[in-house]
Homo-oligomer: A and B are copies of this chain.
């Protein structure tokens, strides 16, 4: 089902650069304008979405999951 819009405020567009496949979860590196964004999702989702190197994706992060540090 197509989603018209989502509440997740942090949406970073990019392309899949690398996928590290595991038996249950996998790691995806997405190349965005900001640099690499890393995601861990289920391996089933990778298959269902048909993700591979080069696929155009959105990396999404809910605001309550973002921590802030002073440097």
Contacts and interface: CB of A to CB of B under 8 A. Distances in A.
Interface of A: 1-13, 20-28, 30, 32-42, 44-46, 48-51, 55-71
Number of chain copies forming the complex: 6
Give the secondary structure class of A's interface: strand
Contact of A58 (B3, B38, B56): B3
Contacts of A51: 68, 70
A59 B68 contact: yes
A45 B66 CA distance: 13
A63 B40 contact: yes
Nearest to A8: B67
Contact of A1 (B28, B37, B71): B71
